[in-house]
Structure 1
């Protein structure tokens, strides 16, 4: 099966599931969020707003609507954005997906409905089909989100094939967060032209030669420039150097609770402890944990350049 990849994904790209800052009262901190989005885009990353590491499922529908609007109103091009729009409730998924599409986003990254377990491919096909039909826009581009260790609801290859056949111009890609390289490589082999995004930059060395569309990675929040440099490497030697750099940072961070770790790193380099907040039931890293992680990163010569824009918001 061959699929025509949309121009938005013609060149491999990195997208960051943007971590979400909160105020002391645990409201969404829009100014900090917008400033961080600007920094990420300036470092060469696209924005997978409302992904897993954005604490998306701890945000209300109204918060996600408002935050997307605020990012766009701040002058950031929606063509750089792949908002997460999947939800357990079909009306919520329709509303989020319609909003992203009408805003001009490059696509919508859609979790399956994740409360009921053991659902059939027929049920999942109906869910995605109902969203697509309800949005009813030729501009809609859906990327499926496979993260069965969180959802308990896998996106099977059979389901992908059915959706591509039914909606070849609409269902254009998948983020594979399973951590199963055999699954990622099989997707790349079975669906040439489909925009397959591994969830770790550590897999790019194997995935890019097979046609991967880049990556949508948690640690793109902290090393967007390095991952973009890997994707844009002019020579094999240059690519190998960047592969080593990004993989070692990824390994250090993924050994920790990912969301609190990312926020701790951003807080350190932005010189802004407000970034450490997470919404319950998550808890922030303690000083010993964050100190040990930062020591590891320092030993790797890690830095986050040009964070002055975030520091200015903190001031």
Structure 2
């Protein structure tokens, strides 16, 4: 269902409010530069600082601006199962392609709790689910056996995973545990190349926010098995992958976008702060290395 370079979109704020005009420009720029999908209201979209009303408006604007040209995988995760389902029901109504559902954070559910959580969502919504495993943020890890059990149980409902665990062995573990094709997307930009070599289909990317054309070209080289070209592009992008996390995300990527587009503000919401001077320096150097500035 999904492949390629799929940016986890930053949400622009201006004077503390969602900047709809800038967001529409960002969506349009992404599509024009080859992004093969869009993710509103993920981690990079500061979903944790949005009210439910804002969360839904951001998704609605993304779907409207994309106008069916690329799939929209909207953030639907929550540490409250009923709240996650509410997001999914909204997404069904506005035409979202799939819901990105992170492992419930803070509660620290067991693997049995994770199975119950995702099963409830799968059984009570028709929206396809992309599992999102990022234990560095959620503390809870969706273990390989849990992924396999869920996908076997709901093969037509749980259609993909964004794996930000940093463990490349999981790509093979998931493939070996299933008897049908399953879409695996890297959640770590710096591991995109080896993840693809192991069987991944692409990445839900932070870097693609600011380098959509390069990231799209990078995926195309991988898909064409042009390894030398893929390595060359990977080397150009690699400092940028790390610079995007040189301060609390998404502050660095918002600063990067403000350097590329005058219409994009670098503002983040508390408890995050704007990128530090050291982070800005790292971003500027990485943008220059990639040939973006």
Asked whether the two chains share a fold, i.e. TM above 0.5, the reply is yes
Superposed, 1:207-222 pairs within 5 Å as 207-222=195-210
1:230 aligns with 2:218: yes
Q: Does the 8 Å contact 2:252/2:283 carry over to 1?
A: no
Q: Any idea what the Cα deviations from partners look like across 1:89-120, whole Å, max 9, x if unmatched?
A: 22211111122233332211101221212x22
> 290, 293, 307: which one pairs with 2:282?
293
Q: Any idea what the Cα deviations from partners look like across 1:157-190, whole Å, max 9, x if unmatched?
A: 1211221121111111111112233334533444
Q: Unaligned stretches of 5+ in structure 1?
A: 1-7, 305-315
1:303 aligns with 2:283: no
Secondary structure at 1:211's aligned position in 2? Answer: coil
Q: Any idea what the Cα deviations from partners look like across 1:38-96, whole Å, max 9, x if unmatched?
A: 11121111211111111011111111112222233335327521111011222211111
> 248, 251, 263: which one pairs with 1:260?
251
1:20 aligns with 2:11: yes
Question: Hey, what does 1:206 align to over in structure 2?
Answer: 194
Secondary structure at 2:53's aligned position in 1? Answer: helix
Question: Hey, what does 1:38 align to over in structure 2?
Answer: 28
Cα 1:122–1:228 shift into 2, 3 Å = same
Partner Cα distance (2:284, 2:139) in 1? 35
Bigger drift between 214-223 and 70-79 goes to: 70-79
Secondary structure at 2:73's aligned position in 1? Answer: coil
Post-superposition shift, 1:240? 2.2
Superposed, 1:274-289 pairs within 5 Å as 275-286=265-276, 288-289=277-278
Question: Hey, what does 1:157 align to over in structure 2?
Answer: 144
> 172, 178, 188: which one pairs with 2:159?
172
Scaled by the length of structure 2, the TM-score of the pair is 0.90
Name which structure has the greater RCO, CA cutoff 8 Å, separation 6+.
1
Partner Cα distance (1:72, 1:246) in 2? 28
Q: Does the 8 Å contact 2:6/2:203 carry over to 1?
A: yes
Cα 1:44–1:156 shift into 2, 3 Å = same
Q: Does the 8 Å contact 1:260/1:278 carry over to 2?
A: yes
Partner Cα distance (1:291, 1:254) in 2? 11
Q: Any idea what the Cα deviations from partners look like across 1:239-279, whole Å, max 9, x if unmatched?
A: 2222222223213333333311111111111124x611111
Cα 1:253–1:70 shift into 2, 3 Å = closer
Secondary structure at 2:96's aligned position in 1? Answer: coil
Runs of 4+ displaced beyond 6 Å: none
Cα RMSD for the two superposed structures: 2.1
Partner Cα distance (1:87, 1:103) in 2? 19
Question: Hey, what does 2:124 align to over in structure 1?
Answer: 134
Q: Does the 8 Å contact 1:146/1:174 carry over to 2?
A: yes
1:96 aligns with 2:95: no
Q: Any idea what the Cα deviations from partners look like across 1:265-302, whole Å, max 9, x if unmatched?
A: 11111124x6111110000024x335512441254143
Q: Unaligned stretches of 5+ in structure 2?
A: none
Post-superposition shift, 1:236? 2.7
